[in-house]
Amino acid sequence: MTKVSIYTVSFALLIGFSLFIGVQNVSPLDVLSMNEVQRTVFFTARIPRTLSLILAGSTLAVCGLLMQHLTQNKFVSPTTAGTLASARLGIILSMVLFSQTNLLSQTVIAFIFSVLGTLFFTTFLRTIKLKNTIMVPLVGMMFGNIIQSFGTFIAIQYEIVQNVSSWLQGNFSLVTLANVHLLFLTIPLLIIISCLAHYFTIMGLGKDVSLELGIPYLTLELIGIVLVALATTTVILTTGSIPFVGIIIPNLVAIKRGDHFGKILFPVAFFGAVFLLITDIFSRIIIFPYEIPISVIIGVLGSLVFIFLLLRGEKE
- Quote the CA–CA distance of 201 and 288 in Å, as a whole number: 44
pLDDT reported for residue 51 = 93
- Quote the CA–CA distance of 225 and 231 in Å, as a whole number: 10
- Quote the CA–CA distance of 54 and 243 in Å, as a whole number: 16
pLDDT in tens, the chain (316 residues): 677 788 888 889 999 888 888 777 777 776 777 788 878 888 888 899 999 999 999 999 999 999 888 888 888 888 778 888 888 888 888 878 776 666 677 778 888 888 888 888 888 777 766 556 677 777 778 888 888 888 888 888 877 776 666 556 777 877 878 778 888 989 999 999 999 998 888 888 877 888 888 888 888 888 998 899 889 888 888 888 888 898 899 999 988 888 888 889 999 999 999 999 999 999 888 887 788 888 888 988 888 888 888 777 655 5
Q: What is the dihedral of CA 257, 5, 200, 140, to 10 degrees?
A: -70
Number of residues assigned to the chain: 316
Hey, which CATH number is domain 3-315, 3.90.226.10, 1.10.3470.10, 3.30.565.10, 3.40.640.10? 1.10.3470.10
pLDDT reported for residue 129 = 60
Under 8 Å between Cβ of 271 and 253: yes
Under 8 Å between Cβ of 93 and 109: yes
- Does the global pTM surpass 0.85? yes
- Quote the CA–CA distance of 262 and 195 in Å, as a whole number: 9
- Count CB-CB contacts under 10 A for residue 255: 11
Counting beta carbons within 10 angstroms of the beta carbon of residue 127, is it exposed (0 to 12), middle (13 to 18) or buried (19 or more)?
A: exposed
Side-chain half-sphere exposure of 301, counting CA atoms within 13 A: 17
Nearest 5 degrees, angle CA 174-CA 180-CA 182?
Answer: 125
